[in-house]
């Protein structure tokens, strides 16, 4: 009996869940990508590729799915990992950065000693939508004196404009795939 062909691209591993978390939203679920060993390996390898040969001192992952890929990328690069979390989730001294969401505001935090001045940091997350969360992460790293090497995502939602926001801040953006809509 023939077996179905393996997914050929990272995009093929991502499932879409209709009307989650609310009606009208097409949720791009990367947990199916993470669950498959070939898909996860493909994702990490492809996210690293644009940064081959560049000096990176730390990888900063945005809560929460950015922790999964950020940790794996940091491991591959043999560098440290910096979690950028929602307010109140980190112990010890932190700095905070507010940002706007579609319906309100949120706050991200990082430990105040997570990055030392001059360290070169790669920002990673699963999805780039409006750029609010990533922009807050960038500002936190820069406030600590870090230099952003780039911003790497699995999925870009170009209709929501996040790439333009981050590029407007002067940062290079890479994404493995894009989906229309929101």
* Inter-helix orientation angle 37-48/65-77, to 10°: 70
Question: Shortest CA distance to 30 belongs to which of 40, 21, 38, 22?
Answer: 40
Q: Helical H runs in the chain?
A: 10-13, 31-35, 37-48, 65-77, 132-143, 162-168
Neighbour tally for 108: CB within 10 Å: 25
Tokens 């001059």 correspond to: 118
| Catalytic residue status for 102 | yes
Instruction: Identify whether the C-beta of residue 79 lies closer than 8 Å to the C-beta of residue 116.
Output: no
Helix (H, G, I), strand (E, B) or coil at 61: strand
Question: Looking at 28, 65, 85, 163, which residue is catalytic?
Answer: 65
Question: Looking at 11, 38, 63, 102, which residue is catalytic?
Answer: 102
Query: Alpha-carbon torsion 127, 131, 132, 133, what sign?
Result: positive
| Residues written for the chain | 182
Which residues are part of the catalytic machinery?
A: 65, 102
């Amino acid at each position: 009996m023939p077996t179905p062909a393996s997914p050929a691209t990272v995009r093929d591993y991502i499932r879409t869940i209709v009307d989650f978390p609310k009606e009208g939203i097409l949720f791009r679920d990367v947990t199916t990508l993470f669950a498959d060993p070939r898909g996860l390996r493909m994702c990490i390898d492809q996210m690293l590729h644009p940064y081959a040969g560049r000096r990176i001192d730390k990888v900063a992952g945005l809560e929460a799915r950015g922790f999964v890929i950020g940790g794996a990328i940091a491991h591959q690069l043999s560098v440290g990992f910096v979690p950028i979390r929602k307010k109140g989730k980190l112990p010890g001294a932190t700095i905070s950065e507010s940002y706007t969401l579609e319906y309100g505001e949120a706050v991200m935090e990082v430990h105040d000693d997570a990055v030392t001045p001059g360290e070169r940091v790669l920002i990673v997350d699963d999805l780039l939508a409006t750029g609010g969360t990533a922009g807050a992460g960038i500002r936190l790293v820069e406030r600590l004196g870090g230099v952003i090497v780039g911003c790497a995502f699995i999925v870009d939602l170009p209709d929501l404009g996040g790439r333009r926001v981050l590029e407007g801040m002067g940062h290079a953006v890479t994404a493995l795939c894009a989906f229309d809509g929101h």
